[in-house]
């Protein structure tokens, strides 16, 4: 995000992981509520903070993205809010026990969690094609791996299958991303970043003089 802010452009970065994580945080925060799954305060706090962070990231993408990226973000966010509204309504209106509610929301959490973990893989095709990892942030892949591993431990302590399944897959997804990053790191031309930075700096100097 710092790089995007400095370049004033999203370049080849994709908003997919942040959009996927946003709805994932919404779903898990709802799952952790007392009337859905009692005694899960960590899920609420963790995913509440996560949702705020993801919304900030999405806003940054919206500000510096092209019209196509902005359209994609707008459509995705509208769909996500609609999905959450339907899930909340159906859960509270049709299901009347925490066991029923946690099962339905838990299954949905698995689905969206898997989508979140797989979303950085959308950049893999571009990485392999260009033999460059610049469009696949290393720390995002590392965070996927570590996040999955830690939640696996938590799921085992809580005996919660709904937390365990997606995070096993997430840990595997993070491992694949790190392997891809290691394979194509040496073939990445990092000099382009320096050129882009120089161009942005020169443009910034020219604009005030023209004004």
Is the confidence at residue 200, as pLDDT, over 90? no
- The answer to whether residue 120 scores a pLDDT higher than 60 is yes
20 touches 115 (CB < 8 A): yes
CA distances (Å), origin 50, targets 19, 23, 182: 12, 10, 27
Please report the DSSP string for 128-194 in residue order: HHHT--TTS-HHHHHHHHHHHHHHHHHHHHHT-HHHHHHHHHHHHHHHHHHHHHHHHSTT--THHHH
**Model pLDDT, residue 195:** 52
CA distances from 96 to 36, 45, 48 (A): 10, 24, 24
Note the pLDDT of residue 116: 82
Which 3 state secondary structure label does DSSP give 139? helix
Lowest mean pLDDT among 11-15, 43-47, 166-170, 192-196: 192-196
Q: Please answer whether residues 171 and 148 qualify as being in contact, where contact means their C-beta atoms are separated by less than 8 angstroms.
A: yes
Inform me whether the pLDDT recorded for 203 exceeds 50: no
pLDDT band (50, 70, 90) for residue 79: very high
Predicted TM-score (pTM) of this structure: 0.74
The answer, yes or no, to whether residue 148 has pLDDT greater than 60, is: yes
65 token code pair: 């993205």
pLDDT at position 158 is 82
Contact 162, 109 (CB under 8 A): yes
Q: Which residue has the tokens 């996560």?
A: 50
d(CA 117, CA 121): 8
Mean of the per-residue pLDDT values for the chain? 84
Of the chain, the percentage scoring pLDDT greater than 70 comes to: 89
* Average pLDDT for 199-204: 47
């Amino acid at each position: 995000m710092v790089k995007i802010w400095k370049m004033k452009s999203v370049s080849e970065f994709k908003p997919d992981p942040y959009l996927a994580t946003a709805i994932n945080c919404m779903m898990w925060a709802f799952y952790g509520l007392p009337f859905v799954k009692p005694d899960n305060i960590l899920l609420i706090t963790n995913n509440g903070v996560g949702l705020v962070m993801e919304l900030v990231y999405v806003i940054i993408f919206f500000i510096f993205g092209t019209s196509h990226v902005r359209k994609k973000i707008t459509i995705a966010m509208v769909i996500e809010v609609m999905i959450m509204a339907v899930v909340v309504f159906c859960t509270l209106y049709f299901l009347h026990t925490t066991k029923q509610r946690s099962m339905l929301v838990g299954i949905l959490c698995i689905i969206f969690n898997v989508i979140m973990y797989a979303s950085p893989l959308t950049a893999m095709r571009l990485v392999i094609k260009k033999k460059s990892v610049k469009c696949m942030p290393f720390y995002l892949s590392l965070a996927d791996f570590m996040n999955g591993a830690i939640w696996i431990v938590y799921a085992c302590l809580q005996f919660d299958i709904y937390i365990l399944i997606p995070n096993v897959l997430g840990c595997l997804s993070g491992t694949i991303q790190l392997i891809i990053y290691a394979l194509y790191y040496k073939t990445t031309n990092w000099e382009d970043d320096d050129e882009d930075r120089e161009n942005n700096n020169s443009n910034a100097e020219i604009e005030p003089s023209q004004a």
